[in-house]
Amino acid sequence: MRDIRHVKRILVRATNWIGDSIMTLPALMEIRRNFPHAQISVLLRPWVRPIFESLPYVDQIINYDKKKGMVQNLAEFVRITSLLRAKRFDMAILFQNAFEAALIAFLSGIRVRLGHDTDGRGFLLSHPVKKGKGQHQIRNYLDLLKGIGLEVEEMDPLLSIKGEYIANAQSVLKENDIEPGEFVIALAPGAIYGPAKRWPAEYFAIIGDWIRKRWGAKVLIMGSDRERDVCSHVQAMMKEGSLNLCGKTSLGTSMGIIKNCNMLVSNDSGLMHVGAALGVPTVAIFGSTDPQATGPRGAYCRIIKHDIPCSPCFRRECPYDLECLYSVRPEDVWEKMEELQNEASSLPG
């Protein structure tokens, strides 16, 4: 234990998904608290980089930029392994559960390799940890640190945004006639995981129209390039006007835009976790997945999930009739939105 406490260089392997990356932030903060003088480097895929760029407890970011094609991937694997070996890390903490993450740490000559004992990789880890069941993912990442005897405290994820992304977001909003201080609500109707996580597009359209008519707010539709179809579908079904930014901004700029919104209505998705971690009032709709495991954490979050015998099933596509999602009516969501709006209106300032 004495040797671990005195490590000087720590490598953290980030997860590949936006929501999962945000759920690791409390554990990452606890790494810094337990090792206040160590250099903390985060190895990640480029698309989640904006989540970590402005964190005061991260010293260095290393891109692992795999490409399509076996030859290119092998070349990047060799490059990153050689780079990490040259940096002589004392410890690797693997939030990503893949076999490859453990193999890279092993081949990089990192003596202490901490990770969940998943994907048949236990023999590559110096400190394998069994993954907990029936608890939130944030707790799983924190419990991982207990594998080397660290004391941890549970907290909500807190996300900070690079100034460049804030400026880009303000430019995008201004170009679309949205001024600072305007009442703006974002809808995130997509979910890359699959259709079984997507509340019906026609319901999102109803909510969008109610926002315009009842509150007089502007409506933004947010999502990644892979969610263009469902976002366009929502906009087409709305009778009132909306601004569809799906696939038109980077993750960093999207984070800045959401920060400027008064509320976010979202499926269980990466943007849901972005909103919650930025302190934006967030209404989260769950279907095939379990909010006890991946629900948003924050002071101003409301979760809607109906008890259906087959849910959570964690399927990407529903073989039945998506009752878990269709049973959540627009009125149910609007009720939670009103609760959050009333709560926000009662706050001082």
pLDDT of residue 182: 95
Say yes or no to pLDDT of 217 above 70: yes
CATH number, span 2-148: 3.40.50.2000
pLDDT digits (tens, 9 = 90+) for 112-132: 999 999 999 999 999 999 988
pLDDT of residue 347: 57
Q: Rounded to whole angstroms, how far apart are CA atoms 99 and 96?
A: 9
Say yes or no to pLDDT of 65 above 50: yes
Domain residue ranges of the chain, discontinuous segments joined by +: 2-148, 166-345
* Mean pLDDT value across residues 187-207: 90
pLDDT digits (tens, 9 = 90+) for 6-20: 799 999 999 999 999
Domains 2-148 and 166-345 share a fold: yes
* Mean pLDDT value across residues 24-48: 97
Candidate from 88-97, 164-173, 288-297, 308-317 with smallest mean pLDDT: 308-317
Say yes or no to pLDDT of 318 above 70: no
* Mean pLDDT value across residues 82-96: 98
HEC secondary structure over the chain: CHHHHCCCEEEEECCCCHHHHHHCHHHHHHHHHHCCCCEEEEEECHHHHHHHCCCCCCCEEEECCCCCCHHHHHHHHHHHHHHHHHHCCCEEEECCCCHHHHHHHHHCCCCEEEEECCCCCHHHCCEEECCCCCCCHHHHHHHHHHHHCCCCCCCCCCCCCCHHHHHHHHHHHHHCCCCCCCCEEEEECCCCCCHHHCCCHHHHHHHHHHHHHHHCCEEEECCCHHHHHHHHHHHHHCCCCCEECCCCCCHHHHHHHHHCCCEEEEECCHHHHHHHHCCCCEEEECCCCCHHHHCCCCCCEEEECCCCCCCCCCCCCCCCCCHHHHCCCHHHHHHHHHHHHHHHHCCCC
pLDDT of residue 3: 59
pLDDT of residue 346: 66
2: confidence class by pLDDT, cuts 50, 70, 90: very low
Report the percentage of the chain scoring pLDDT > 90.
81
pLDDT of residue 349: 47
Candidate from 114-123, 210-219, 239-248, 319-328 with smallest mean pLDDT: 319-328
1: confidence class by pLDDT, cuts 50, 70, 90: very low
Say yes or no to pLDDT of 288 above 90: no
CATH number, span 166-345: 3.40.50.2000
Say yes or no to pLDDT of 5 above 70: no
pLDDT of residue 323: 81
* Mean pLDDT value across residues 119-146: 94
pLDDT of residue 67: 79
* Mean pLDDT value across residues 164-175: 97
299: confidence class by pLDDT, cuts 50, 70, 90: confident
Say yes or no to pLDDT of 237 above 60: yes
Say yes or no to pLDDT of 348 above 60: no
CB 261 within 8 A of CB 185: yes
